[in-house]
Chain A
Amino acid sequence: MCLSDMLKKIKYWTLDVARVMRRELNLSLTDVGVLLFFIFLPLVYPLVYTLIYNPEVAREIPVAVVDDCRSAQSREFVRMTDATEAIHIIGYATDMAEARRWKDAKDCYGILYIPHDYSRSLGRGEQANVTFYSDMSLLLRYRSMLMSMTNLQLAAGAKIRTETISSLGMSGTSMSGSPVENVSFMLGDTEQGFASFVIPGIIILILQQSMLLGITLLGGTSYERRLRNGGIDPLGIRTSASASVIGRMLCYVFIYLPITIYVLHFVPIFFSLPHIGSPLQYFPFVFPMLIATAFFGMTVEIIVKEREMSFMVVVFTSVVFLFLSGLTWPRYAMSKLWLALGDLIPATWGMEGFIRINSNNATIYDNTHCYLMMWALAVIYFFTAIFVTRYRDMRFRVYGH
């Protein structure tokens, strides 16, 4: 008797979940505003972002030369500079003042200064100094120029060393070349491209933020309907909080499954971004993030009492969440407070794990911590979502009377 009661309860509860899910699907797919967030945003934003960053690296940055030496060696150095990937020599300025004027007018972003004693020092076997002034408005530009100049210094040095040593009458590869070779490997983003670095993280954040926007928009709309109808949402399903919360979650995750496949699998393929992870690893990996985000959205709803408030609440957090995830400022350098705050955001773990699976060919097992944290967040936000739903019902019941 008791068992059949329980079975009946479970049956009705499951039916309620299904009803809530169907109604929520209906509401989502008939609301243009929600469709904009659930469908348009994740379809188009990854493309727009990748198009912005797709040139990948800063090449051929204009640089001016002030050559006080005017010798064959100095001209050769300038030619070598011009031949690097990052730098393009736009011309010779007569003095530093002119070069500065060019830089101020943004005709160039760097100045190469070769002093008058450059070739004399080389001839005497002394150290020759060259100065490079770099504009610091964008670190990416500085980084490209710095890497080029460092490589150039090593290459020019090796060349001159070989010449000097053979002129001293000695031979032997051990000294002319380098006695210790050094080889560097860039992992994950082998070309050090900007899109390849930033897009795998951004697409995860887009998934989370677009879902949050859609959910809060639906929540705000429902709140407005309840205000107009004496505390009852005529389009809502009256059921237990748990059935309602789980039904809604299933609806959102259901909508997001095809979108996730598009965003995580096809977008990197479209633009030839790093994409070496196995789909069997990253799809199961982000699944708990979708669930956690759905519950997170239903929790955030507590401050959304108007349809359009979802913008105010969610949009600015995109920038904050981006930084909390550690993509721009690494998490090992964050203070405890910001680490803890970042821990609470599903996308922090989603981004960390997905980037490693996608670009470093890691597995879920390698990212067990991230994976479990997302499940933990899903559980935490499930309870907060239930609390919010009950709290709202209670408030409206009070108002209703």
Chain B
Amino acid sequence: MFAKGLGATMRRELSRWGSRRVYLWGMVIIPLTVAFFFLNLMEEGLPTKVPTAIVDLDNSSMSRTLTQSLGSTELIDIKEHATSYHEAMAMVRSGKIYGFFLIPREFEAHALAGRTPTLTYYSNMTYFVPGTLSFKGFKTMAVLTSGKVVETSLTGRGISEEIAGTLLQPVVVDVHPLGNPWTNYSIYLCNSFIPGLLELMIFLLTCFAICGEIKHGTSRGWLATAHGSVTTAIIGKLLPQTIVFTMIGWFFDALLFKYFHFPCGHPGNMLIAMPLFVIACQSFALIVCSAIPNLRLALSACCLMGILAFSIAGFSFPVENMYGAIGIFSYILPVRWYFLIYIDQALNGIDLYYSRYFYVALIMFVLGACAIAWRLKKRCLNPVYVP
């Protein structure tokens, strides 16, 4: 009985896919296109060569050397030579440059005479990435310049070069970025934003498939095909989507970890996480649909959460640092758990033991859906469309 109803519902669902283009677009074309967009956009990994300007008020041999060394660093691209602070500032305001480096008048003379001149550099932090990178490049160069002057004056006083070199940097902190030593933005953003997008599309299509039946008044037929069992009806309707989305998800895994060689410690565990993630997302949307069985409202709620997920799931700003009352909402989203699994199993490649609760959390979404989905039956039998 169950198998028969399930088969019939699935066949009915597949025939609906044929008549509505939204399924093809939502399940395949949009996820693939946007994933391609992300991966292609950030292919370089790090947007080096930040457009900047130099304001050289000294025009000495030392300041020219400084300018040349600055221009030859990886991070900085000296696009403009400004003649004054105001000119450089105007360039920042018009967006031509993201920062500038200012060498004061009489810099060389003061430095060699020990009168402590000041190098100043300005980074436009309204754009975080170029701002930070230009800051890093400027700072390195300023510190190196200062070091060179120290070394010259120390050796001039008869201290051996060896000791002078040590004195420049008596303590060195080696910072090792674990798992992403290149500070590659693509690794960091694609691994969170692509699953986030997948979640959004699963939310939308689940709502569309379930509440669409109620909107168009076909929900009675849907339930009848499943021999009156709402469980069979839901499984039959969502299972084909589960399969397609899991395939797409695995394709993304292959793309990220195989083709682009993003770090992945335990590929097997990531492959297991994908179907669980898909089902958790469907369950989340199912809970919303059961609570508010109206196509527009359910879609509104799901979009609201699906879009907020990119911020609240802590992809860029750590959940631990959010206000407690806000951060707690990150845990009602499947993508937060998937993201935690990704960090442990792919990026850091640690033992499955540490991620056990994250897998359990994904399964809990299904239990939540089981607890509430019965409500759909009444609505399916009396479909009322509220625009």
Report which A residues bind B (CB closer than 8 A).
Answer: 31, 33, 36, 48-49, 51-55, 57-59, 61, 77, 104-106, 122, 125-143, 145-146, 149-150, 152-154, 156-157, 160-161, 164-165, 168, 170, 172-175, 177-190, 192, 194, 197-198, 200, 221, 274, 307-309, 311-312, 315-316, 318-320, 323, 326-330, 332-335, 338, 352, 355-356, 359-363, 366-367, 369-370
Contact = CB atoms under 8 A, between A and B. Distances in A.
A157 B310 contact: no
A238 to B, nearest CB: 23
B119 A181 contact: yes
Nearest to B128: A197
B332 interface: no
A367 B308 contact: no
Interface in B175-227: 175-180, 183, 185, 188-189, 193, 196-197, 200-201, 204, 208, 212, 215
Interface string B96-126: 0011000000000001001011111111111
Contact of B323 (A54, A77, A131, A153): A54
B296 A307 contact: yes
A119 B114 CA distance: 31
B166 A126 contact: yes
Given A181-B118, A182-B119, A362 B93 contact: yes
B307 A164 contact: no
Ranked nearest first, the 6 interchain pairs of A and B with the lowest CB-CB distance are A174-B114, A333-B47, A188-B126, A182-B142, A362-B93, A189-B125
A327 to B, nearest CB: 7
A311 to B, nearest CB: 5
A160 B170 contact: yes
B126 A136 contact: no
A136 B179 contact: yes
B247 interface: no
B92 A328 contact: no
Given A175-B154, A197-B128, A153 B172 contact: yes
A136 B188 CA distance: 8
A187 B92 contact: yes
Interface residues of B, number: 113
Interface of B: 22, 25-26, 30, 34, 37-38, 40-42, 44, 47-51, 90, 92-95, 98-99, 111, 114, 116-132, 135, 138-139, 142-143, 145-146, 149-150, 153-154, 157, 159, 163, 165-180, 183, 185, 188-189, 193, 196-197, 200-201, 204, 208, 212, 215, 295-296, 299-300, 303, 306-308, 310-312, 314-318, 321-323, 326, 343-344, 347-348, 350-351, 354, 387
A140 B316 contact: yes
Given A48-B308, A52-B322, A185 B296 contact: no
Given A179-B149, A320-B37, A134 B51 contact: no
